[in-house]
Amino acid sequence: MPVSSQPRDSYNVGVICALDIERAAVEAVLDEEHGGLGKVPGDDNVYTFGRIGTHNVVIAYLPAELPIKAGFMVGICGGVWSEKTDIRLGDVIASQPDGMHGGVVQWDFGKMEKDGIFRRTRTLNKPPRPLLNAVQSLKARHHLKDSEVETHLNEIMSKYPRIAAKFGHQGHRNDELFEASYAHPAGDSCDECDRSRFVGRMPEREDSKPRIHYGTIASGDEVVKDGPTRDRITRAEGIMCFEMEAAGLMDAFPCVVIRGVCDYADSHKNKRWQPYAAATAACYAKELLGVVDPQGIEELGLVSK
């Protein structure tokens, strides 16, 4: 691989992906891919260097041994549909702090009190101010005009046509939400599941454009794949989705967490929607970086060394 012509300290935006499919999606939205940089002794991380808009970014599986000043965690999640928040497969959820949480809550860290109520005993960092400002700015923009996620998705499919079927929208008929109490009987698909146990969601969407949601993301050490458990945690914490990596990073690597919804965190989960969900998350990350102030990033202290 050729050596990047950019100086090491110019890569001050880090994008963390836990899965190969997530990383491939982020690499696909790069406006420009750069060559490699010389390795730091003792650093076994594998990096991809490139540019998104005006920002030089480094993509890695773990926080980089580089002078990173702002971070994003981009990937997939199990979403929580409700009548209040109509989350569908392929939608994007961006972490946003509220009065209780910094955008991410570690749902499985705490202790059981004598009254039988589980009390969380840990709070997590918020992202740095320039990233929070960018999230708010983009959220406001979307009140006036459509998100650019679909545009970026089309660019990916045009640039990499061989992945179109895998990374494209999987069809509304394959977006199936079952009652929380109805457990998946067996098998890798829901072909044999009881369609009378569908949750009716109206109105039906007229298009396949992913919607963007903002709120609290639940992170924990266990995969949530049980409807009643999902709903119990949701009621307690007011969360929008579940994932497994962010809680372990937020204190040392405060970042905006961006997740594409690939299942409903129940026993019916499968991998069909994972590539598309990874792609929508990556495309939103690209749009978000487009409104991040480079000077604001430059003025931040290091979050990774």
> What are the tens digits of pLDDT across the range 10-19?
999 999 999 9
Are 104 and 124 in contact by the 8 Å Cβ rule? The answer is yes
Closest of 64, 91, 75, 71 to residue 219, by C-alpha:
75
Q: What is the pLDDT of residue 35?
A: 82
SS3 of residue 256 by DSSP? strand
Provide, for the chain, the percentages of residues in helix, strand and coil under a 3-state DSSP scheme, each rounded to the nearest 5: 30, 20, 50
Which of the residue ranges 26-30, 64-68, 152-156 would you say has the lowest mean pLDDT? 64-68
Closest of 291, 284, 253, 252 to residue 77, by C-alpha:
284
> What are the tens digits of pLDDT across the range 149-188?
999 999 999 999 999 999 999 999 999 999 999 999 998 8
236: left (phi over 0), alpha (psi -120 to 50) or beta: alpha
Q: What is the pLDDT of residue 112?
A: 47
CA distances, 160 to each of 154, 165, 288, 299 (Å): 10, 11, 22, 36
Confidence of residue 120 (pLDDT cuts 50, 70, 90): low
Q: What is the mean predicted confidence (pLDDT) over 252-281?
A: 96
pLDDT at 32 over 60: yes
> Which amino acid type is present at position 261?
V
Q: What is the mean predicted confidence (pLDDT) over 128-143?
A: 95
- Which domains does the chain carry? 74-183+209-298 (3.40.50.1580)
Distance, CA of 27 to CA of 46 (rounded, Å): 13
Q: Which residues of 212-242 are buried (b: 16+ CB within 10 A; e: fewer)?
A: bbbbbbbbbeeebbebeebbebbeebebbbb
191 burial class (0-12, 13-18, 19+ CB within 10 angstroms)?
Answer: exposed
> Which amino acid type is present at position 301?
G
Q: What is the pLDDT of residue 160?
A: 96
Q: What is the pLDDT of residue 126?
A: 86
Q: What is the mean predicted confidence (pLDDT) over 52-77?
A: 92
pLDDT at 123 over 70: no
> What are the tens digits of pLDDT across the range 215-231?
999 999 889 999 999 99
pLDDT at 23 over 90: yes
Confidence of residue 122 (pLDDT cuts 50, 70, 90): low
Distance, CA of 88 to CA of 81 (rounded, Å): 7
pLDDT at 202 over 90: no
